[in-house]
């Protein structure tokens, strides 16, 4: 009877078990760690940014099936299915490739604006101000 009562108490606690996932993100180009890359579990509220050494830690992960996603604007997105159950997980190094993006040409054309001096006055008032120190500031090329 005591054993049954003990098991009835222990089994629900195992449902609330939480685990930790750790790993490191490296660049495919030079195998150096990448800082500030987003690492998260899709369909969960668990995520982290990589540290200067490329390491990350996802804490309080409940048992289940997830997709681990690693993303940064300068790199290709990485995704890996992951099953969490029964123990903390230490992932092998994740290597992501730099992503090249080509931007379209931007043309800047000058046109004389009759309100230019008014806009310049607004800019000076908003960003430089009108204090004693602000009066000492000069815009060399307005």
User: What average pLDDT does range 84-92 have in this prediction?
Assistant: 91
**What's the pLDDT at 136?**
86
| Residue 132 pLDDT grade (very low, low, confident, very high; cuts 50, 70, 90) | confident
State how many domains the chain has: 1
Global model pTM greater than 0.75: no
CATH number, residue 27: 2.60.40.10
Q: How confident is the model at residue 139 (pLDDT cuts 50, 70, 90)?
A: confident
Is 106 contained in some domain? Answer: no
| 22 part of a folded domain | yes
Residue 114 lies in a domain: no
Confidence band for 6, pLDDT divided at 50, 70 and 90:
low
Of 38, 33, 69, nearest to 52 (Cα)? 33
Average pLDDT of the chain? 87
Q: Give the per-residue pLDDT at 30.
A: 93
Range of the domain at 84: 2-96
Looking at per-residue pLDDT, the higher value among 12 and 137 belongs to: 137
Rounded Cα gap, residues 138 and 136, in angstroms: 7
- φ, ψ dihedrals at 9, nearest 5°: -80, -40
Residue 36 lies in a domain: yes
**Per residue in 38-78, pLDDT tens?**
999 998 889 999 999 999 999 999 999 999 999 999 999 99
Q: In this structure, what DSSP letter does residue 102 have? A: P
135: in domain: no
Residue 129 maps to a domain = no
Residue 55 domain flag: yes
Determine how many CB atoms are found less than 10 A away from the CB of residue 42: 13
In a domain, 82, yes or no: yes
- The answer to whether the CB of 50 falls within 8 A of the CB of 56 is yes
């Amino acid at each position: 009877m005591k054993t049954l009562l003990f098991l009835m108490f222990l089994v629900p606690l195992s449902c609330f078990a939480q685990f930790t996932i750790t790993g490191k993100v490296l660049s495919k180009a030079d195998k150096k760690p990448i800082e500030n890359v987003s690492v998260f579990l899709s369909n969960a509220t668990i995520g982290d940014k990589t540290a200067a050494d490329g390491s990350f830690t996802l804490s309080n992960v409940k048992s289940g099936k997830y997709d681990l996603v690693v993303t940064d604007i300068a790199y290709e997105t990485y995704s890996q299915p992951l099953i969490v159950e029964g123990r903390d997980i230490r992932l092998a190094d994740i290597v992501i490739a730099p992503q090249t993006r080509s931007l379209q040409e931007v043309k800047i054309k000058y046109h004389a604006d009759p309100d230019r001096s008014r806009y310049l006055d607004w800019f000076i008032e908003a960003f430089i101000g009108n204090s004693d120190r602000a009066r000492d500031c000069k815009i060399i090329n307005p």
